[in-house]
Structure 1
Amino acid sequence: MQKLFFKTAVTAAVVCFSSMALAQQKYSVSGTVKDHKNGELLIGVTVKVSEDPSVSVVANEYGFYSLSLPEGSYTLIVSYPGYRDFELPVKVEQNTKLDLPLDQEEKGDERVGKIDEVVISGIKKDKNLTSAQMGTETLSIKNIEKLPVLFGEKDVMKTIQLLPGIKSNGEGSSGFSVRGGATDQNLILLDEAPVYNASHLLGFFSTFNSDALKDASIIKGNSPAQYGGRLSSVMDVKMKDGNNKDYNVNGGIGLISSRLSVEGPIQKEKSSFIVSGRRTYADLFLKTSDDYKDSKLYFYDLNLKANYQINENNRLYLSGYFGRDVLGLGDTFSTDWGNTTATLRWNSIINSKLFSNTSLIYSNYNYKISLKSNDNTFGLNSQIEDWNLKQDFTWFAGNKHSVRFGLQSIHHTITPSSASGTSVSSFPRNPRKSWENAMYINDDFKVSDKLTVNYGLRLSAFSILGGDTYNTYDNGVITESRFLEKDKFGKTYFNLEPRITANYRINEVSSIKAGYSRNTQNLHLLSNSSSGNPTDQWIGSSYSVKPEIADQISAGYSRNFNHNNYELNAEIYYKSMLNQIDFKNGAQITFDTAADVESELLYGKGRAYGLELIAKKKSGRLTGWISYTLSKTERKINGINDNEWYNARMDKTHDLSVVATYELNKKWSLSGLFLYSTGNAVTFPTAKYELNGQTIFQYSSRNADRMPAYHRMDLSATYEPESTKRFKGSWSFGIYNLYGRENAYTITFEDNPNNPGTTRAMQTSLFRWVPNITYNFKF
């Protein structure tokens, strides 16, 4: 079936576009776009023809572009925010390979203040009016450092939570919810490798060290067909390639963490590397106390990347990430968790129109817990490991079509939570293996000067592999049990996933958009908390657990003002979801040999709908944006809430972010942000009774209550003294939660000691005021 689909899709694409090539003899002008200073390939650069502005292309995520032009003389205009516009005359008489260098704008440039966007950038200034892609934001790594964040650590994960439709899962948490989806419904990629837990220190930091990153973008549901495996969003993060012309060192020293990056050429202008490391040292402060001198509380991470240009058409990349969190209290308790990823990638320019990317990817996430009390010991561990092969082609089939097609194959090995020790019966769990495959085709079609359509189709298949016993349940009761022998195939789930978005440009300053997409998900995270914990358990689709499916429709309106320096975007969406998972009432997750977490699960449907607004000021001394989301997220699962609709944990009615940066002068800039959101949906007790001297609380409707509303204000100032040719330094000063709002992290209930017949609620808050000072340097 897969072979038939692939042949049919490719044949259809060839027939559809071949007529274009016959219409007129055209030649290709193609190549890569690079940063002239350091050789980094640039993503999303616009290349257009001065003589015919309707002829333009956007370089793909590997910096490759291709134009089709009749014989003649032309002037190419290359533009990218933060870089000087570049014009180049070219005479087209045959297929021509032309690499394009761009120079970064410096502070002294006359145009810097006019075009440099503060955080949401890396795109041409009217792309919101011309691109068919919906719900997509690209983040400028360069300017994230200006925003005030917790502990002064610049962080792409915190920044995306300031955008509409993307909601934080809690104070200090790196987990987020997109358009009503759970945390696990976000596909997070680092150099194409999936990252299964993107947080450090229980969510106060993310796994992404911004010093090592080149580009980050997030797509809210309407992703092109090359992405799959999650229902709600794709966050695609790419690491820097490394400077292939000169050596650079940069880093930062903060109150509780420091970082250092080194990059440079291996062979000048042919190969390069980057090594970036980061570590917290909160544990060093603990050692000053006799009570905590044996405690551990830190994380570290390391980003590595190297590339080698084989020849002008072929380049190899090798990148890796290693990160670990360690928490411990002497010999009595310890826990550690972390990610390891590696990507080996081969980029090949097959011809002037066809670009190939082949990737072999490894990803591993695991955690370990150890407890010791007197002579009793307890250990718990779990792991998810992937081997992934991707083959992707980009075909520039004329100036109106950019076609992506390819395939992907992933082998999953999930080891469920396994316990051992003297306090429990040791039972190593059998790893569960599965094989996930997909093939896809996607076309970005410029129908006319006003209409652009992005459409595609993805065929996914998820196969259960042998080596374990699989049970089927009906309301927690086993109805069938089967053992699959090792290397045997069990059930396979096939799903077709169509996607289409369209943009119609009404006039020079406004456009409307609409889209539909279907996404499926075969890996599921079981969590009892809204913010997520390192020990949350991943499971794959099985005989009981079906693939989750989401259908999303959306529509939007965009309008720009004052020569594209102001921007207003509005989108509405409705998403219906099938095979949603939740724990049954009173679920018992135990560590005994008979325990099977699937027996505690129930399944049903969900829905999410809302309005997203964002207004941006993109130039001048004052820049920033205001975003607002009005939304509703619900689930309906038989066995929960009398089989009626109930609020999902991540449901928040209102979510507001105000972000601003003001350039006082060449040395000083000020930044601030204000956040407000409705509290998370939770379940509070409605009654209590006493049994054998213990108070037992009773609960009614699932998630019928609310945490208190969340709001805070952060401020920061950045000082950049005059730099020398080789050295540049800056100071960042900030305060998190300026007016000391005690936002609720948890609320627990207990008997009132002064009146045992009554109950009191106890609120835990994490931060009132958190100052930070960070020194950043580069040479």
Structure 2
Amino acid sequence: MINLIRKSLLILLILPFEMFAQSDKLTVSGYIKDNKNGEGLIGASIFVKELMTGTTTNTYGFYSLTLPKGNYSLIISSVGYRKAIKDIKLIDQNVTLNVEVQEDGQELAEVIVNAKREDDNVQAIEMSVNKIDMKTIKKIPALLGEVDLVRAIQLLPGVSTVGEGASGFNVRGGGVDQNLILLDDAPVYNSSHLFGFFSIFNPDAVKDVKLIKGGIPAQYGGRGASILDVKMKEGNAKKLEVNGGIGVIFSRLSIEAPIVKDKASFIVAARRSYIDVLAKPFLTGDNADSKFSFYDLTAKVNYNINQNNTVFLSGYFGRDVFGNDFGFNWGNSTLSARWNHVFSSKLFLNSTAFYSNYDYLLDSDLANKRPNNAFRWTSNIENLSFKPDFTYYINPENTLTFGGQVLNYDFTPGSATASSNGDKRTFGSAPKNAVEYSAYVGNEMKVSSKLSLQYGIRFSRYDYTSKEDVYYERVKVGISDEFPSGYDLNTKPNDPNKVLQSYQNFEPRFSMKLETSETSSIKASYNRMAQYIHLLSNTAASTPLDVWTSSTNNIKPQLIDQVALGYFKNLGDNEYETSVEVYYKDLKNQIDYSDRADLFLNPEFEKDLMFGKGRAYGLELYGKKNKGKLTGWVSYTLARTERLVEGLNNSKWYPNRYDRMHTLNVVAQYEINKKWSFGGNFAFISGVPYSLGKGQGTYEDLTYSITDNGVRGNVRVPSYHRLDISATKKNKKALFGKGESEWVFSVYNLYNRRNPFSIYTRPKEQTAGEAAQSPTSVVQNEAVRLSIIGSFIPSITYNFKF
């Protein structure tokens, strides 16, 4: 029955377009791939010389062009690749044309090799989108010499972080939970290793990186701020390829090779830190069993069954472990299975099933020395989903996308087990479950030679259930010391088998592009996003141990509306890209916390939550040099993000904890010759707000800070700035006298800046003389500035490929 319904819907969607299709037109379609490894090229251009029209390839390198009958010359081009010209005859039947293109032989092209058009930023309808190829990311100076995808995107306009040592990133004033991070379509809930210093993405396994900050297409949903879409390599289908690197803190190795040449291939990539191994000889006594390491494994296999069917299976498994007797660990696991099917020369399907799990724990007995006297806290969020995505290529001026998704959530906000002399006690928050259903339809059309539109709508429904026999009903009781939020919870009987609360939302999307010349365009966009899950954290910096929870009968989904306007201009035969964008975001159902909120293992944490609205607005300037010995970019963001919550900050607007007014990033790479290249980046960011007491009180010789109830953001951390540099020396040969290799020398935080992460107060320590003079005097408080990295960090890395 379900299959019949799906087929009927498919026919109803496509039939109107087929009825109006002209019989004197035929279609040419196929894949554009790299001839060295067989990877599909994303965004490659296919241009019809005779008709002055064309299209681009999708995420899998597939394209489709419907043209009047006749003879044509197709020009296939992609930045960093040689142009290919193919003659075709569309006379009496559709044509399948698969093309493998060669990488450009010019050395300088290596700086910019990627699979997109040179003028993509001007000609593409999408805005508020940044794409960085891995070759560029690998040239950016990095902490301890290790290439890092997430640190690279923090150098883009509109992106920031609350500081070194914080997990995740913030986009246009949003929280880290408002970013949908996808690895081969599977969501990743914590993108960081080592408390935010490194990301989970192995650069040797990444094929494409795309950050969408606004004008979000209808196929994406579930988060309010951005989409970070990361695609893994499919594996070299031509020959064996080995990549790796040996660094100061960890090493990595990837192997890719054909299983059946040109039909099936695989890639396996692994990383492991060895801080614990290096430190082991120096640890004695109670510290001998200390654990501090991380690892990850990324793998993918694909099989091209025939020209109409390709299947993919990919997975990621990673974990961080830190601590001695008392410690904690966290990790992500994802598994994606995808099927690409070409129904016809016009209709393309990508169907995906995925599993994702993020779990984290605290354990007082990592070394398992006292199992009968221990404390263990676990929490996790687990997903299981299926989503079909269809693309129907009506003609070169009109492309229809449609699909849907069923996404199951299992939440364990916090479950703890305490053992004492063999007696165990379990407590914490009850597991929660929810199912999110969504369907979307979108259309990209070229109205004229100057005007293009992309519009669509997404519908989402969220059904929440609680597995407890009771549920909590939030009731207003008035603000007091016992109820600082002004709310308490009443218990109600619950049926775990019935839906406790449902939410439904329509999410319209619209984008437009107006070409003002061959090298410039104006773009505008609007999108509404509904977010049904929340990351609970009452600290400025997100940590791996923050709690993910569902929208409930008491917690409404976040709704975010964003409008953006931009001007895009290329100069010097696309050597330079420039853009200016302004945006405004209206945020509803935003979460903040009452003073003294208790989120840890508190089954009644919902009474400590406070809800309000938010706004974020800003200006983003971007300039990029693409060609020549000197390449790089400059980005500047002027932004504000604020909240208004009744009962906090005297019920007046206050800056969000992610608010940074000024962000400036300068990134440069200079290639002297074939052997030596240099890189550098400079970052300046305004300080984030925090709340500081207005004075101090005393009680029995003890001091404490006095704060106004609900005060928010009355002081700012000093500004952050940092300079990093690197030098890369290429060698003629790699390991065993084969392949390629290079040495990367880098210095992070070159001029030794002690950037503040936070400021807090503590009792001021007295000298021996002061204590002798006034042994009964009240100890005064002092403000302390905490820096995570307080010095410059040199490093050296050896990379190889053969």
Same fold (TM over 0.5): yes
Q: Specify the alignment match of 2:401 in structure 1.
A: 404
Compared with structure 1, are the counterparts of its residues 16 and 675 closer, same or farther at alpha carbon in structure 2 (3 Å cutoff)? Answer: farther
* Aligned with residue 69 of structure 2, among 60, 71, 82: 71
Alignment of 1:339-350 (within 5 A): 339-350=332-343
Alignment of 1:185-584 (within 5 A): 185-291=178-284, 292-329=287-324, 332-372=325-365, 376-422=373-419, 425-427=425-427, 429-468=429-468, 469-473=470-474, 474=476, 475=485, 477-478=487-488, 480-584=490-594
Deviation at 1:688, TM superposition (A): 1.4
Q: Specify the alignment match of 1:653 in structure 2.
A: 661
Compared with structure 1, are the counterparts of its residues 168 and 738 closer, same or farther at alpha carbon in structure 2 (3 Å cutoff)? Answer: same
Q: Specify the alignment match of 2:638 in structure 1.
A: 630
- Measured in 1, the distance between the counterparts of 2:243 and 2:123 equals 37
SS of the residue 2:650 aligns to = helix
Deviation at 1:268, TM superposition (A): 1.4
Deviations 1:669-708 (A, max 9, x none): 0000000000111112221112344322122321221111
Q: Specify the alignment match of 1:732 in structure 2.
A: 744
Alignment of 1:119-134 (within 5 A): 122-134=115-127
- Measured in 1, the distance between the counterparts of 2:195 and 2:330 equals 10
Deviation at 1:290, TM superposition (A): 3.2
- Measured in 2, the distance between the counterparts of 1:620 and 1:15 equals 50
Deviation at 1:528, TM superposition (A): 2.2
- Measured in 1, the distance between the counterparts of 2:443 and 2:10 equals 12
CA contact (8 A) 1:81 1:117 kept: no
- Give 5+ residue unaligned stretches, structure 1: none
- Measured in 1, the distance between the counterparts of 2:525 and 2:691 equals 35
Compared with structure 1, are the counterparts of its residues 143 and 353 closer, same or farther at alpha carbon in structure 2 (3 Å cutoff)? Answer: same
* Aligned with residue 619 of structure 1, among 627, 632, 635: 627
* Aligned with residue 647 of structure 2, among 635, 639, 642: 639
Compared with structure 1, are the counterparts of its residues 476 and 422 closer, same or farther at alpha carbon in structure 2 (3 Å cutoff)? Answer: farther
- Measured in 2, the distance between the counterparts of 1:450 and 1:381 equals 56
Q: Specify the alignment match of 2:482 in structure 1.
A: none
SS of the residue 1:489 aligns to = coil
Q: Specify the alignment match of 1:50 in structure 2.
A: 49
CA contact (8 A) 2:636 2:665 kept: yes
Task: Report the AA paired with residue 641 of structure 1.
Answer: N
- Measured in 2, the distance between the counterparts of 1:694 and 1:656 equals 44
Q: Specify the alignment match of 2:101 in structure 1.
A: 102
CA contact (8 A) 2:703 2:781 kept: no
Compared with structure 1, are the counterparts of its residues 403 and 554 closer, same or farther at alpha carbon in structure 2 (3 Å cutoff)? Answer: same
- Measured in 1, the distance between the counterparts of 2:454 and 2:354 equals 27
Percent of aligned pairs with the same residue?
43
- Measured in 2, the distance between the counterparts of 1:355 and 1:11 equals 14
Task: Report the AA paired with residue 376 of structure 2.
Answer: G
**What is the RMSD of the two structures over their aligned residues, measured on CA atoms?**
2.2
Deviation at 1:231, TM superposition (A): 0.3
Deviations 1:254-275 (A, max 9, x none): 0110000011011111111110
Task: Report the AA paired with residue 793 of structure 2.
Answer: V
- Give 5+ residue unaligned stretches, structure 2: 477-484, 771-777
Shifted more, 691-700 versus 538-547: the winner is 691-700
Alignment of 1:753 onto 2:777 = no
- Measured in 2, the distance between the counterparts of 1:586 and 1:174 equals 23
Task: Report the AA paired with residue 104 of structure 2.
Answer: E
Deviations 1:427-474 (A, max 9, x none): 154320100010001111111111111111000000012422331213
Alignment of 1:580-595 (within 5 A): 580-591=590-601, 595=603
Q: Specify the alignment match of 2:785 in structure 1.
A: 763
CA contact (8 A) 2:456 2:510 kept: yes
- Measured in 1, the distance between the counterparts of 2:95 and 2:66 equals 10
SS of the residue 2:385 aligns to = strand
Q: Specify the alignment match of 1:35 in structure 2.
A: 34
Compared with structure 1, are the counterparts of its residues 311 and 764 closer, same or farther at alpha carbon in structure 2 (3 Å cutoff)? Answer: same
Deviation at 1:402, TM superposition (A): 1.5
- Measured in 1, the distance between the counterparts of 2:541 and 2:599 equals 19
- Measured in 1, the distance between the counterparts of 2:298 and 2:489 equals 48
CA contact (8 A) 1:157 1:174 kept: no
Deviation at 1:118, TM superposition (A): 4.5
Deviation at 1:379, TM superposition (A): 1.3
Shifted more, 478-487 versus 269-278: the winner is 478-487
Shifted more, 583-592 versus 595-604: the winner is 583-592
Deviation at 1:530, TM superposition (A): 2.9
- Measured in 2, the distance between the counterparts of 1:25 and 1:744 equals 68
Aligned length: 766
- Measured in 2, the distance between the counterparts of 1:530 and 1:604 equals 18
Task: Report the AA paired with residue 383 of structure 2.
Answer: D
SS of the residue 1:720 aligns to = strand
CA contact (8 A) 1:419 1:427 kept: yes
Alignment of 1:25 onto 2:18 = no
Alignment of 1:773 onto 2:796 = yes
- Measured in 1, the distance between the counterparts of 2:599 and 2:467 equals 23
- Measured in 2, the distance between the counterparts of 1:478 and 1:675 equals 45
- Measured in 2, the distance between the counterparts of 1:590 and 1:102 equals 55
Deviations 1:537-580 (A, max 9, x none): 00110000001001111100011111111111000000000000
CA contact (8 A) 1:501 1:516 kept: yes
* Aligned with residue 744 of structure 1, among 748, 753, 756: 756
Compared with structure 1, are the counterparts of its residues 349 and 10 closer, same or farther at alpha carbon in structure 2 (3 Å cutoff)? Answer: closer
CA contact (8 A) 1:123 1:138 kept: no
Task: Report the AA paired with residue 743 of structure 1.
Answer: N
Deviation at 1:490, TM superposition (A): 2.1
SS of the residue 1:230 aligns to = coil
CA contact (8 A) 1:300 1:325 kept: yes
Compared with structure 1, are the counterparts of its residues 361 and 647 closer, same or farther at alpha carbon in structure 2 (3 Å cutoff)? Answer: same
CA contact (8 A) 2:79 2:112 kept: no
Alignment of 1:694 onto 2:702 = yes
- Measured in 2, the distance between the counterparts of 1:369 and 1:74 equals 65
Deviation at 1:15, TM superposition (A): 7.2
Compared with structure 1, are the counterparts of its residues 533 and 479 closer, same or farther at alpha carbon in structure 2 (3 Å cutoff)? Answer: closer
Scaled by the length of structure 2, the TM-score of the pair is 0.92
CA contact (8 A) 1:471 1:478 kept: no
CA contact (8 A) 2:747 2:794 kept: yes
Q: Specify the alignment match of 2:481 in structure 1.
A: none
Q: Specify the alignment match of 1:668 in structure 2.
A: 676
Deviation at 1:769, TM superposition (A): 0.8
- Measured in 2, the distance between the counterparts of 1:223 and 1:9 equals 25
Task: Report the AA paired with residue 288 of structure 1.
Answer: P
Alignment of 1:59 onto 2:57 = yes
CA contact (8 A) 1:252 1:775 kept: yes
CA contact (8 A) 2:149 2:201 kept: yes
Q: Specify the alignment match of 1:168 in structure 2.
A: 161
Scaled by the length of structure 1, the TM-score of the pair is 0.95
SS of the residue 2:694 aligns to = strand
Deviation at 1:643, TM superposition (A): 1.1
